[in-house]
Amino acid sequence: MSDPTESRGDAPGANELDADVALEEPGAAAPEKGTAATAYGPGEVPPPSRWTTMLNQIATGNAIISVLAVVLALIVGAIMIAFTDERVQEASGYFFARPGDTLSAIWESVSGAYSALFQGAIYNFRRDTFTAGIRPITETLTFATPLIAGGLGVALAFRVGMFNIGGRGQMLIAASVAGWIAFGFDLPWGIHMLVALIGGLIGGALWAGIAGVLKARTGAHEVIVTIMLNYVAFYLVSWMLRTPGLLQAPGSSNPKTPAMKETAIFPQLLGPQYNLHFGFILAVIATIVVWWILSRSSLGFKFRAVGINPNAARVAGINVKGMYVYAMLISGALLGLAGVSQVLGTVTTGFTAGIDAGIGFDAITVALLGRSTPWGTFAAGILFGAFKAGGFSMQAAEGVPIEIVLVVQALIVLFIAAPPLVRTIFRLPDPKAKPKRSRETVTKEAQAK
């Protein structure tokens, strides 16, 4: 093997030789005191600098793929907005006569749509006061609250190697338990809310625990089990909503519950003029708890070990079956928090079987975008909350179909699922690619063999 110090110039006597050459050759700069001059032969490749290494790590990381996936989805969304705009279609009819009209119409269409999206999700500059202008961001956080909680549940299951696709059923059971406690009991303020919250978390955990126990005891695949449990939960809750004395409001024939009692409702964080409620604080706390479990606890270490290689974890003495059950219980509790935040915070006048509002499936997208990390899921939940809040504004202000926002969300998942496509489009380096070696190094290694 060749001596690695030969190409760096730090072999014994290298400093003295360089210094002699610098003294003999006019204009040659002597190496600084305490440093070694580096000489590279023909074909040698110098090692990358710190900045190059850092940029390479950023370019090959998962975070940049998620960001670029969102950018690509927005670009494709812009193209679809332009194609569906009537003004663009009209101007494109005489494109070759006056191409500027078409380009202007495209710009007005896309910029108007995304401006409306921003003003509906972040800040509305058209409002007279600051308190009225920040209402969109509060709506974004309100929409994001159940998405964050549900995404955390799906992400935690991902880390254990499980695919919890039963978010809808777990949310429905949790919402039913929390709602039943909220409208069916008379308890003091604070205690009533706490009991309803805990009841909902337990309901969601137990419903998900069924899939965990079946996987641990019989090897049943959690995807099939959770899908079936979604249907069971939906029809069970639908039956209870149509049955007097269970969840149906007294004296009503509609499949809807009574309104939640004031003592059980989540308090408003910023006053009655905003919809943001205490559920968002619970989502933040849940994010911190999941981060601590996965990163700082022995249980999280076992979760990650089972997710990477269950056979190796079993050999290491980890109770793999127990980890499956614990993971599904915690995952179900987090998805239950999403259901509880719906009935105690967002829809407090009574709920139907559609209380989940598709959040159970959106949570899968949020977890994928967040790369199954707690804080990544938190950021992804806020992003999708912004899409939900701004999508209605974009439809009302610019006439853009709300389905465009759904297409953008689907494209985000598509691009995240295909990292090589994103790297190819943006010419990012492949993290699995081997570093290039010089010809001289290859020749020396061949001679050494």
pLDDT score at 51: 65
Q: What is the pLDDT of residue 324?
A: 95
pLDDT value, residue 13:
46
Secondary structure class of 122 (helix, strand, coil): coil
User: Which tens digits make up the pLDDT trace of 61-104?
Assistant: 667 888 888 888 889 888 988 888 888 888 888 888 888 888 99
Q: Tokens 């190059």, residue?
A: 52
Whose CA is closest to 182, among 326, 401, 9, 355? 355
pLDDT of residue 149: 96
pLDDT value at residue 420: 81
State how far the Cα of 68 lies from the Cα of 424, in Å rounded to an integer.
12
User: Tens place of pLDDT for every residue, the chain, 449 residues?
Assistant: 444 444 444 444 444 444 444 444 444 444 444 444 455 555 555 666 666 666 665 555 667 888 888 888 889 888 988 888 888 888 888 888 888 888 998 999 898 888 988 888 898 888 888 888 889 999 999 999 999 999 999 999 999 999 999 999 999 999 999 999 999 998 998 899 999 999 999 999 999 999 999 999 999 999 999 999 999 999 999 999 998 888 988 888 889 999 999 999 999 998 888 999 999 999 999 999 999 999 999 999 999 999 999 999 999 999 999 999 999 999 999 999 999 999 999 989 999 998 988 898 899 989 988 889 999 999 999 999 998 888 888 888 777 887 888 888 888 878 877 788 888 888 777 766 665 555 666 566 666 66
CA–CA separation, 7 vs 439, rounded Å?
Answer: 13
What pLDDT, on the 0 to 100 scale, is given for residue 418? Answer: 79
Q: Structural domains in the chain?
A: 65-121+403-426 (no CATH), 130-399 (1.10.3470)
SS3 assignment, position 277? strand
At 133 the pLDDT is 87
pLDDT of residue 357: 85
Instruction: For 48, list phi and psi in degrees, rounded to 5.
Output: -70, 150
What's the rounded Cα separation, in Å, for the pair 85 and 401? 10
State the distance between the two ends of the chain, measured CA to CA, in whole angstroms. 8
Q: How far apart are CA 208 and CA 109, in angstroms?
A: 45
